[in-house]
Amino acid sequence: MTILVVDDIATNRKLLRVQLEAEGFVVVEAADGVEALQVLARESLDAIVSDILMPRMDGYRLCHEVRKNPLLGELRFILYSSTYTSPEDVRLSDTVGADQFIARPAPISVIMAALQIPAADRPPRSSDLPDDALIVQQYSAVLVAKLEDKNTKLQQALEMAQRAQDRIQELNVDLDRRVNERTAELAKTNAELTAALAEVKQLNGLLPICSYCKSIRDNKNYWDSVEHYITRHTNSNFSHGICPACYEKHVTPMLEKMDAELAAAAVRGKT
């Protein structure tokens, strides 16, 4: 059996083709109703499996054109769609003469069963088809329903987008507030750091020190000991000692002098 698969999406055609060929069918492809009619004009086929939503000519129109043609009217025709699935869509598929409507996706066994419908169970052919006015009426109703459904979904999408935009605006306002607060905190910290650096700079620079008592004059013109000045400005504590150089220069001579005096006193005591 040779099957014509009609679908404007190449991936869908390929998937159905692989499934049907695995069951022993010969498969021919077409991208829409117009191309399908061209294939039907030059090749002998046994059945058609067609999508509905396609450019140029959709599946409903293709089925109706096939049923009107006395040479093609006996072809088995299956409409296979994931878009047109409402009860009105199914009724229109019956009106245009489809053997069966199948909602996509479906197991290959369902499609094979539809391709093997007994002749007695198939719908009427060309001479018994309804007039074009009834088909146009149902077709228009289906299209209006689809348009309303798309408009509803579009409105929902717009509402969701508006809510998302409002949320983004709220987040931006909150972000601005946080940035302003953080900027103020940084400015305060920077001012404190600048003041601290000024004090450090004064410590590291030239400090007025008394040549005699070694007291330091602060920025308020008060004289203070080196230890007390540094403690107030750096929170440092002091422990006192003597460096080696000063020990040699001051302490050693003093100890030697004391030893000499003690030795002299001892001599005087003996005499």
For the chain, what are the domain ranges?
2-126, 131-205, 208-240, 242-271
Q: Which two tokens stand for residue 230?
A: 């540094």
Q: Which two tokens stand for residue 221?
A: 């013109």
Cβ-in-10-Å burial (0-12, 13-18, 19+) of 259 comes to: exposed
Q: Which two tokens stand for residue 44?
A: 């002998």
Query: What Å distances lie between residue 212 and 106, 108, 209, 220, CA to CA?
Result: 105, 109, 9, 21
63 phi-psi bin (left φ>0, alpha ψ -120 to 50, beta other)? alpha
Q: From CA 66, how far away is CA 50, in angstroms rounded?
A: 12
pLDDT reported for residue 187: 87
Q: Which two tokens stand for residue 226?
A: 């080196």
Instruction: Give the strand pairing for 216-217 and 223-224.
Output: antiparallel
Whether the upstream peptide bond of residue 105 has omega within 30° of 0, thus cis, is yes
Q: How many residues does the chain have?
A: 271
- Reported as a single tens digit per residue, the pLDDT across 39-94 is 999 999 999 999 988 888 888 889 988 988 888 878 899 999 888 778 888 888 88
Q: Which two tokens stand for residue 206?
A: 């030239």
pLDDT reported for residue 190: 86
- Reported as a single tens digit per residue, the pLDDT across 156-195 is 887 888 888 888 988 898 898 899 989 888 888 888 888 7
Q: Which two tokens stand for residue 51?
A: 């999508």
DSSP 163-220: HHHHHHHHHHHHHHHHHHHHHHHHHHHHHHHHHHHHHHHHHHS---B-TTT--EE-TT
Q: From CA 210, how far away is CA 217, in angstroms rounded?
A: 8
- Reported as a single tens digit per residue, the pLDDT across 107-159 is 999 999 888 876 556 655 544 566 665 666 666 666 666 666 667 777 788 78
pLDDT reported for residue 201: 62
Q: Which residues pair with 103 in a beta bridge?
A: 81
Pick the CATH number of 2-126 from 2.60.40.10, 3.40.50.2300, 3.30.1360.200, 3.30.450.20: 3.40.50.2300
Give the helix/strand (H/E) hosting 3: strand 2-6
Asked if 70 and 93 count as a contact pair (C-beta separation under 8 A), the reply is: no
User: Does this model's pTM top 0.75?
Assistant: no
Highest mean pLDDT among 154-158, 233-237, 250-254: 250-254
